Each structure stands twice: as structure tokens, then as C-alpha cells.
Amino acid sequence: MHRLPGLALCAMLVALGNGCRSDSPAGGHRVVTARLVSQHQGDAAALILLPPGLEAVSAPTGTTLVTEPDGAGTRVLLFRDHPGRIEFQLRVTGQEEPTATILEVADGNNLPRNLAGYELRY
């Protein structure tokens, strides 16, 4: 029977103990991907109002992200380099999906779209 050296065993126990401990609030921190979904293809830009309390917002390569605090939350403006699917990531606390309001969407010619049928999916 092989024995682990005492130091290795202690290191494993410390690592396991730290893996079980949580310093985050109930529900923890997590990153969710939000996708703008509609019957249209090739969206170029979107303006979305996100609720207060989000920790961070980021966008994939090829999308420019501008955020602006708003009394009702944070306005997020996303510009794609080439029209396509608009998506971004949110760092949130808790398990509930954040609510959002789609304020405006533009097509590949920078013309506003009718917002009927648009939704944000996580």
C-alpha cells in the first residue's frame, strides 16, 4: 500500500477545503450569454437597457460595446463590425436571469428595425 507524504496530503486537504468554501453571496457569481433573437437576419447595432446590479458586461471580438449608467440601470450599445447575431456576456449574481428592455435595433444599413418579435435570450 502506498502512502502519500504528509505534505502532499495536507496540500490536498487544504485545496479541497478551499474548493468547498464560498465567499460569494447566495447564488454566487456567474457569466451568462445574452443573444438578441428575431425573425430578422444581419443586425448591425442594438441599444439595450439592463437592470441595476450587474457586475460586468462584455462583448465578443468583432463587436464594439459602449455602456452608460442610467437611472433605471445601464444602457448597453453594441455595434457589430459586420451585420450578424448580436450577443454579449453579463456577469451576474444569483440564479435569476436579468430582465432587459430592447430600446432600438439597426440593420446592416443603419436603419432602425421594428422591434416586434425581438427578444433577449440567455
Q: Which residue has the cell 425573425?
A: 39
Q: For residue 104, is it within any domain?
A: yes
Q: For residue 9, is it within any domain?
A: no
> pLDDT per residue over 47-78, tens digit each?
999 999 888 999 999 999 999 998 889 999 99
User: Is residue 2 predicted with pLDDT exceeding 50?
Assistant: no
Total domains in the chain come to: 1
Q: For residue 3, is it within any domain?
A: no
User: Is residue 87 predicted with pLDDT exceeding 70?
Assistant: yes
Q: What are phi and psi of 105, to 5 degrees?
A: -135, 140
- Domain extent for 54: 27-113
Instruction: Provide the whole-model pTM.
Output: 0.75
Sheet containing strand 87-93, edge to edge, reads 56-58, 87-93, 29-37, 119-121
CATH number, domain at 35?
2.60.40
Q: For residue 39, is it within any domain?
A: yes
